[in-house]
Structure 1
């Protein structure tokens, strides 16, 4: 599981002070985004999230489109422009939603189970909030000029994703 490998890097060995931290990213997102009131209310009610996990290097945009394959093996993960330091659940949530968009519910569940099986020391209790953050972050997909059928499917999937996080 490549995402887990990224999250297991010992970031203390590297000078990553140039990367933004989760607190900055989260606060900025809550202030400038126009989104579903229930999502914003749920996130603002718990901000700042309690620290439950050690900060790690986050890819920031982990999804199938940023993974390069050769002969059935992952050879590279690209597009690191959104990298930051923070809770590993932020990356997991983003990947979950992107996989849900691209491959459906079963693939998202499988991805989540695989990650959890490798990252056993992570506290997953804040995952619903990170799922909402991912939904908030990706809520602008309606502006991506997608095919109407794809857009309809993505709307259905994000609505399900939000409802499972709020429940």
Structure 2
């Protein structure tokens, strides 16, 4: 990948599912999903997902969905940026592209879950909250022992909003 290549953002297609799976697998400590799950993210949830490409290489991906019973809330499911594309503000660009998509026209709140030690993700979402001039609140949502059998850290539900677009 040459530094001069532009990063192109677009909605994914089912053909991108395997590539998403490999990108996530190559970037621990992200929780890997099955290839089938990534295929669904890239097909059923394509309207609320964005893939980033530098040339032919996928260098970033964000998936999410508008909550079925709360059309004003976008839940960001998974966000990954390849190390080769870090430091370019790509994570925030991906989420902003999600919010700008037609499927998110009614969205005034963003939610995601983050482990307490994921400093990079906390930084991205705190910066987004500042950019959106919106409150950011968080609390434990899924507990290590109650929900993960003690094999995964707590997941904090982070809520940004309301915001105007």
Q: Which has the higher strand share?
A: 2
TM-score with structure 2 setting the length? 0.30
